[in-house]
Amino acid sequence: MRLKTFHASSMVEAMRQVREALGDDAIIVSSRTENGGSVVRLTAAIDEDEHMDRAAHQPSETQKDAPFSKPTSIPDAGEELIEILLRHGTPAAVTERFLSAAAPMAGTENSMEERLAAILSDVLSFKPLPRGPSPRPLVFTGLPGAGKTLSIARFATQAVMAGLKPAVISADTIRAGGTEQLEAFTRILKIKLMTIEDPDALEDALAAIPAADLFLIDTPGINPFNADERLMLRKLLSLPGCDGILVMPGSGDPIEAAENAQTFLDLGVSRIMPTRLDISRRFGALLAATETTRLPLCDASASPKVTDPFIETTPKYLAGLLAAGSPLEVSP
């Protein structure tokens, strides 16, 4: 699989260049406009080497003459990387960023997985959850059903097992059953669950907690297209010193995941926690969301069981996940 990028003054012209250079079998992997809409940029992929070789050695008359024609061929070393990223449905713009980071590693003896880990550590950032006491309240946010409540219950369980005293507050008091679900866990852990009816009450609720090592705050699932819900979350995340975590399933539509992550970044989150890795096989959404927002990745969830620990998301783990396509085949 090879990728090639074309610049032209119109979509018709760009498509003509793609067909001429790569043939009718080329697949368009992305299109966007640049320079305020005056330049169309198309990235196309082709499986057959001979098309690329022909294009590389014999640039067409159109490519030579067109003012915006600027084909970019991907070095051979990047092919395996492109295949992995395409398999995960990674958007072309994100793929290109990975390829740029891969360029200095071309020709090294390292395995694909080692190179991928180096690229991931270059392009993305990683910031695990606190392992000990932390005064910064952690606010778990995300779309409905993302895994916020389970992650809080898991974190509280791990904290109690480590001899820490977590405080848990739920702001999910509107939805029927929102607090009851969390209370079922806190009761077992002998933690008193506090609830708040509106975002303004959060600061007072925290001040009322006598002593705790960790402060975990559950929030209702947010519809990113609903202004009232966004405002409610913005208020919660305006709590001084808090750390907002975007809890996000690792798979899904990559473009939508990136757009949603950007909305949550604008609302004030500062990390992404991937969930549902055990029931996902294509992780382009995770790559797109983290690369687009530059938000660091924290620990991941790969199980519906509260007693199963989080997995520390490291470049090595993520590289294994992308290469294997399954978290079950990768050790943290």
Ligand X SMILES: Nc1nc2c(ncn2[C@@H]2O[C@H](COP(=O)(O)OP(=O)(O)OP(=O)(O)O)[C@@H](O)[C@H]2O)c(=O)[nH]1
Residues that bind Mg ion (CB under 5 A): 148-149
Closest distance of CB 148 from ligand X, Å: 4
Closest distance of CB 117 from ligand X, Å: 22
Chosen residue from 174, 304, 307, 324 binding ligand X by CB under 6 A: 304
Of the pair 102, 182, the CB lying nearest Mg ion is at 182
Task: Determine, following the binding rule CB under 6 A, whether residue 179 of this chain makes contact with ligand X.
Answer: no
Q: What span, in angstroms and rounded, lies between the C-alpha atoms of 26 and 48? A: 9
User: Who contacts 320 (Cβ-Cβ below 8 Å, separation ≥6)?
Assistant: 113, 329, 330, 331
Task: Determine, following the binding rule CB under 6 A, whether residue 174 of this chain makes contact with ligand X.
Answer: no
Q: Which residue, chain included where needed, has tokens 């929102």? A: 178
95 binds, among Mg ion, ligand X, none (CB under 5 to 8 A by kind): none
Chosen residue from 120, 150, 237, 286 binding ligand X by CB under 6 A: 150
177 binds, among Mg ion, ligand X, none (CB under 5 to 8 A by kind): none
Task: Determine, following the binding rule CB under 6 A, whether residue 278 of this chain makes contact with ligand X.
Answer: yes
Indicate the residue whose CB is closest to Mg ion: 149
Chosen residue from 89, 128, 130, 221 binding ligand X by CB under 6 A: 221
Question: What is the separation, in whole angstroms, between the first and last Cα of the chain?
Answer: 30
Indicate the residue whose CB is closest to ligand X: 221
In the chain, count H helices and then E strands: 13, 10
Task: Determine, following the binding rule CB under 6 A, whether residue 158 of this chain makes contact with ligand X.
Answer: no
- Output 204-212 pairs: Cβ under 8 A, ≥24 positions apart: 205/169, 206/137, 206/167, 206/169, 206/239, 209/167, 211/165, 212/165, 212/166, 212/167
Task: Determine, following the binding rule CB under 6 A, whether residue 4 of this chain makes contact with ligand X.
Answer: no
301 binds, among Mg ion, ligand X, none (CB under 5 to 8 A by kind): ligand X
Of 142, 168, 171, the closest CA to residue 274 belongs to 142
- Residue 278 near residue 244, CB atoms below 8 Å: no
Phi, psi of 146 (to 5 degrees): -70, -25
Q: Using CB under 6 A as the criterion, which residues of the chain lie in contact with ligand X when the complex forms? A: 142, 144-150, 172, 221, 275-276, 278-279, 301-304
